[in-house]
Chains A and B, each alone.
Chain A
Amino acid sequence: MRTYVGIDLGSTTTKAVLIDDDSRVLGRGITNSRSNYATAARVASEEARIDGRFTLFHRALQRDGDPGDRLELFLAALERAFRLEQFQEQLADLERTCNGQFRGGRFAELEAGVRRALDEVFKRVRSEVAAMFAPGARRKSDFFRDIAGAHYYTHAEAVGRELSLPYEILLNIYDKSILEVENRPPAGDLSGKFRRALQKILAEDGHIGQQAAHLQHVIEDTLDVDLEDGYLVGTGYGRVTLPFSKEHIRSEILCHGLGAHMMYPNTRTVLDIGGQDTKGIQVDGDGIVTSFQMNDRCAAGCGRYLGYIADEMSIGLHELGPMAMKSDCPSRINSTCTVFAGAELRDRLSLGEKREDIVAGLHRAIILRAISIISRSGGVTNEFTFTGGVAKNEAAVRELRQLIKANYGDVVININPDSIYTGALGAAEFARRAYEGGARQEAQA
């Protein structure tokens, strides 16, 4: 089947969405936007393809009338096994790369000791891999860099101590190697990984024994479906350096508008608060952008502002929202200037204001800025869709609902759990249309 990929290269994460000829979403993928945008784009789209395969498995098995619960369990197990395969492959690459750092004699005098330490560290990490992907295991992040890093650091510290080696050397080797590993294009051979994963769960899970042949058959059939590359469109903040040629690039504004329209066809206004900028977009009934506004040169009021505040308070970004929700009397914060945010925070704390009230006030301040950008772009006339990282913050959402209601009355406010993929979805649809347009032209020619 023909597929279309949209890629949204953000400043922190890169998202990809894979759709089919009917504009249905097949898969979504996300990765960290490393220094190498080309690799980030490849990794994200490979992730979307993997996700797409699962969608196809799902569809195929459902067609065969498999009962829901068991199907879900099977697919979850398959995914864990697949992720494990994938992780092990990258871990092996990481180990090789770490051991390759000795070329050029950088650590010559320590080489033997460091090699021994690396062997030990990786042995310990490997011993934990199965547990990482066990049913119910919680991972703070799904990015290889984060998972591998956390485990490596823990063991490197212990092993370093045991072998009287400076921890910094082991850290240094890791930091250098992880960059190389994540900037290497994905290894490919997805089908092979799926097959190995399937074998693994068939071997381990006795319950599906009698169905093994059938499952194997369905999976194999699905793997045989060729996901033909129709067209690709990229978008995102880093578009100036996107690794695509001009005709494969669309503005993030257009992609966002179209993506929001695809999720909620009645959307007329889209607000996106990302790390670097805030966008207010108006779209018509076809998802075509009729006007847009972005925050001006002053970046106050973007997601980054919350990041500063979290740093200033030495808490995680995700803890800000819940803290603000505890407030029933938000402070009035007038300045959303990132430069003064820290000082204002300290000033207010020293005056005895409660942390949760200040943080709630800060949330209100950034949403106020966003509302003024919406107002600038033309206000809210119909359904309203809120996207971007800040849309996941419950306190920001609370303020937004309240302010939209106060200024524009009762309008439907959509917040999609997959809102982070809005831009990539729009890009994928642009890809599909570009292909369609091209095909039509060819047919006419």
Chain B
Amino acid sequence: MGAPLNMSSTAVIINRATQIFEDLSFSAAREWKAAQPGRKVVGYLPIYVPREIIHAAGMLPLGIVGGGDRLEVVHGDAYYQSYICRIPRSTVELGLSGRLDFVDGMLFPSICDVIRNLSGMWKLMFPHVYSRYFDVPQNYADEIGGNYYVNELAELRDDLARLRGAPVTDDELRHAIALYNENRQLVRELYGYRAEQPWQVPAAEVHLLMRAGLVLPVEQHSAMLRDYLAAARLVQRPRRDNCRIVLTGTFCEQPPLNLIKSLELAGCYVVDDDLLLVTRWLTSDVPVEGDPLRNLATAFLHHSESTAAKFEPDQREKGQHLVRAVRRTGAEGVIFACPSFCDPALLDRPILQHVLADAGIPCIAFKYAENSGQMQPIREQAGTFADSIKLWSGR
């Protein structure tokens, strides 16, 4: 990241992001930790943790989203039956193979029973690592779910303070909130730009940039996003006659990069997705003034993304986030890509499909694994989908 601002081409930036993405030893995070004695790293799994609190404790939040298609899983498979998705196996493999030996804490968000149970496995397998199941409220009343969540956040803050050996102050929290507000603004800007001109911002590049955000300190990541946006706007890239789709179902185990590339090659521009939701979970700025934990809680309750792991109290609202995403981005269809054996994504899918059908939005669905090697069937399906959308719209 030593290059002067605005001098980097998108290729240089993406090259750096790719290095981070491909590095299963997390060298960037290791280097951050080694740069100053006493630094600590806290890992977290999908879909959401309040990274502000980790940052405020002077620690690096490290997003862990499995091992992708390049990690050879040897011992991780020993812990899981064949009908369980890939992400916990490769995560266990990362742990057992020493690739996470510099990680001081692990947070397991409330996303499904598999990740939930992994929190207990981690306590047993890595007893010296601070491990916490990070529960979030499924009740969205301020006085009920809100109070509960504020207290949960306070517990997390206090745990990290113990780990750090010093209290985490409100000012530190406010500073972190401001930094993440800025980061989320940049992420939204990037997503907005892609929705407008998807040929300018290939989905695979967006994904690589978001992946870098899991590993880099937020300040560095914001700089990277800023540089990329500036560089991307300078050069016109060729526009293809692709249709525009919203990609959904990909909020936990990540599809291989090849899958994302294949969609665009097959004729589908991705104009919105639910990959790495943590980078934009909160949909509006968190107020910097006032009680920081209460502010984080309020944002979670009232201004956060909808996804399968969250209960939707209002039947009429169920699935509308997807319809809105389609309308907002001018998408012509939705692609459900769900990890095999992913309970939240697969159980939610039929309801969402009905909502889309009622809204007259076409969709297709397939499954993947983080290490899927074959893209041919996906290229074929996405290509056929793109062709049918074009026929339908008379293009």
Contacts and interface: CB of A to CB of B under 8 A. Distances in A.
A–B in direct contact per CB < 8 Å: yes
Interface of A: 296-298, 300, 332-335, 340, 343-344, 347-348, 368-369, 371-373, 375-376, 403, 407
A340 B374 contact: yes
Interface in B57-98: 69-70, 72-79, 81-83
B90 to A, nearest CB: 11
A332 B70 contact: yes
Interface residues of B, number: 21
Nearest to B93: A372
Given A296-B81, A344-B373, A375-B75, 14 more contacts: A296-B82, A332-B70, A332-B72, A334-B69, A335-B369, A343-B377, A344-B374, A368-B72, A368-B73, A368-B77, A371-B74, A372-B75, A375-B78, A407-B74
Contacts of B376: 343, 347
A298 B82 contact: yes
A335 B373 contact: yes
16 contacts: A296-B82, A297-B82, A298-B82, A300-B82, A332-B373, A333-B373, A335-B369, A335-B371, A347-B374, A368-B74, A368-B77, A372-B77, A373-B78, A375-B75, A375-B77, A375-B78
B55 to A, nearest CB: 35
B374 A375 contact: no
Contacts of A333: 373
Contacts of B388: none
B372 interface: yes
B374 A403 contact: no
Contacts of B373: 332-335, 344, 347-348
Interface string B354-388: 00000000000000010111111100000000000
A141 B276 CA distance: 58
Contacts of A372: 73-78
Nearest to A403: B74
Contacts of B69: 332, 334
A367 to B, nearest CB: 10
B77 A369 contact: yes
Contacts of B77: 368-369, 372, 375
Contacts of B377: 343
Contacts of B76: 372
A324 B134 CA distance: 47
A368 B93 CA distance: 13
Nearest to A340: B374
A301 to B, nearest CB: 10
B313 to A, nearest CB: 38
Contacts of B83: 297
A338 B247 CA distance: 29
Nearest to A337: B82
Contact of A376 (B70, B72, B78): B78
Nearest to A375: B78
The 5 closest A-B pairs by CB, nearest first: A372-B77, A375-B78, A298-B82, A334-B371, A376-B78
Central interface residue in B82, B83, B377, by most chain A CB within 10 Å: B82
A335 B372 CA distance: 7
Contacts of B82: 296-298, 300
B179 to A, nearest CB: 38
A298 B375 CA distance: 23
Contacts of B81: 296
B89 to A, nearest CB: 9
Nearest to A333: B373
A400 to B, nearest CB: 12
A300 B373 CA distance: 16
Contact of A334 (B74, B78, B79, B372): B372
A334 B376 CA distance: 15
B87 to A, nearest CB: 14
Contacts of A375: 74-75, 77-78
A149 to B, nearest CB: 38
Contacts of B75: 372, 375, 407
Nearest to B76: A372
A124 B374 CA distance: 53
A344 B374 CA distance: 6
Nearest to B77: A372
A344 B375 CA distance: 9
B83 to A, nearest CB: 8
Nearest to A367: B74
A340 B376 CA distance: 12
A219 B7 CA distance: 94
Nearest to B97: A407
Contacts of B369: 334-335
Contacts of A348: 373
Contacts of B72: 332, 368
Nearest to B375: A347
A50 B332 CA distance: 76
A250 B77 CA distance: 29
Contacts of A343: 374, 376-377
Contacts of A407: 74-75
Contacts of A298: 82
A142 to B, nearest CB: 37
Nearest to A364: B72
Nearest to A280: B78
A333 B72 CA distance: 10
A269 to B, nearest CB: 14
B77 to A, nearest CB: 4
Nearest to A377: B78
B319 to A, nearest CB: 31
B26 to A, nearest CB: 21
Contacts of A300: 82
A334 B70 CA distance: 9
A372 B77 CA distance: 6
